[in-house]
Structure 1
Amino acid sequence: MRKILIAGLLAGLTGCFRPAIPISTQPNYPVDVFYENQRPDRSFEELQKLEMTQETLVTSRQMESGRMISRGNNMQDKELLLAKMSMEAKKLGATALVNIKYTYYTTATVNGYTLTATAVRYRQEN
């Protein structure tokens, strides 16, 4: 009975817990980010099409007996490439990236990532 009471108290206390520092799992980019199936709800003007490519060598963990057993694609590489692109867009004066497309490819020696998007600037609302 005592264990149930303690477990109940702990469950109640953890439900009230609010971290002092907000925890976010979403990356924070310097411009708004919209993938190819999303659109901003504001009008905008196109500034420039952007494309970035990054390649990393296939690692020994990905290979077994001369055959590839896993791809090297991971969210950190994708987010890093998008962060670089969003900083480039910000330098152009953009307020958002639209129509973002992420392509991944693998060859015998590299994992490759290509990101394409259009840098845009929101129009002033009157």
Structure 2
Amino acid sequence: MKKLAFALCLLSLTGCFRPAVYLQNKPNYPVDVFYDTQRPERPFAPLQDLEIKGEVPLQSRQSGNKRMLSRGNDMQQKELMLARLTLQAKKLGADALVSVRYTYYTSMTDNGYMMTGLAVKYKQEHEQ
């Protein structure tokens, strides 16, 4: 009974704490980034679909006692993937990367990931 009361007390306090590190500094990518649920306000022309994929070994913190504790990549790894994708878009002459989507899978030994997006060029006002 004491364990249940303690657990309920902890749950009630979870919303009271703020993270010690604030993510106010958004990464500065070489092109504008719009995720799958977002769209740029400016009209654009598609250039090319882009994709980054790979597999990395599970880290020791992700599994223990023959159980999966966490899945996928951490935020730092995702930002690195997005940085690589935006650099590819910039090399194509793109102004933005739209419909960015991240997917992953986890096996017994690896984290597999794929990040995709569409490199686009903004249209000039008179091109519409």
TM-score higher than 0.5: yes
Alignment partners' CA distance in 2, 1:85 and 1:60? 28
> What are the superposed Cα offsets for residues 66-106 of structure 1, whole Å, 9 maximum, x if unpaired?
22222242111111000000000000010000011111211
Aligned to 1:48: 48
Aligned to 2:6: none
TM-score, with structure 2 as normaliser: 0.76
Aligned to 2:86: 86
Alignment of 1:36-75 (within 5 A): 36-75=36-75
Percent identity, aligned pairs only, is: 57
* Runs of at least 4 residues off by over 6 Å: none
Aligned to 2:15: none
Alignment partners' CA distance in 1, 2:85 and 2:107? 24
SS across alignment from 2:101 = strand
Aligned to 1:114: 114
TM-score, with structure 1 as normaliser: 0.77
Displacement after TM superposition at 1:54 (Å): 2.8
CA contact (8 A) 1:50 1:116 kept: yes
Aligned to 1:3: none
Aligned residues: 104
Aligned to 2:31: 31
Aligned to 2:76: 76
Alignment partners' CA distance in 1, 2:99 and 2:82? 12
RMSD: 1.5
Structure with larger Rg: 1
Structure 1 unmatched ranges of 5 or more: 1-22
Amino acid at match of 1:119: A
CA contact (8 A) 2:72 2:105 kept: no
